Amino acid sequence: MKIAIPTDNGCASPHFGRSPQFTIVDIENNKEVKRELIDNPGHEPGFIPEFLSKKGVQCIISSGMGNRAQELFKINNIEVMLGVEGKIDDIVKCFISGELVSGESTCRPESGKGYGIDKSECDHK
């Protein structure tokens, strides 16, 4: 299983598409076998779901994500887990142990505009 988590300074980024980086983790036999931190390849509608699909990602874990992005991940056969916040290490451990709980997206539409680019804080919550 390969998971991806939008990452900002070692924590889950509140907006997957505008996060500075993504942490991609390979999990085999309930153990982390590889971790890669990659820069965000760019925020264009539909690009990131396809990009992560080509990297073999099967699940994206995010705090917040818009409805259209959720649909695009599903089209690319990538499971979406939302409402997840915290440190990347903790999220990975909870995912592996089966304790990670998916919930509602923490964002409302358009709340991330400029996050990570033009402003240091998003408008969610």
- What is the spatial distance between Cα 76 and Cα 61, in angstroms, rounded to a whole number? 15
Q: What is the pLDDT of residues 48-73, one digit of tens each?
A: 999 999 999 999 999 988 888 899 99
Q: How far apart are CA 112 and CA 117, in angstroms?
A: 10
Nearest to 122 by CA among 68, 65, 42: 65
Indicate if the pLDDT at residue 90 is higher than 60. yes
pLDDT bracket for residue 115 (50, 70, 90): very low
Longest CA–CA span in the chain (Å) reads 41
Per domain, the residue ranges of the chain are 2-97
Tell me the pLDDT band of 109, cut-offs 50, 70 and 90: low
**Averaged pLDDT for residues 6-33:** 93
- What integer pLDDT is reported at residue 38 of this predicted model? 96
Which pLDDT does position 118 carry in this prediction? Answer: 42
Q: Is domain 2-97 given the CATH code 3.30.420.130 in the classification?
A: yes
Residues 27 and 96 sit within 8 Å (Cβ to Cβ): yes
* Structure tokens given for 11: 């924590």
Distance between CA atoms of residues 110 and 73, nearest Å:
18
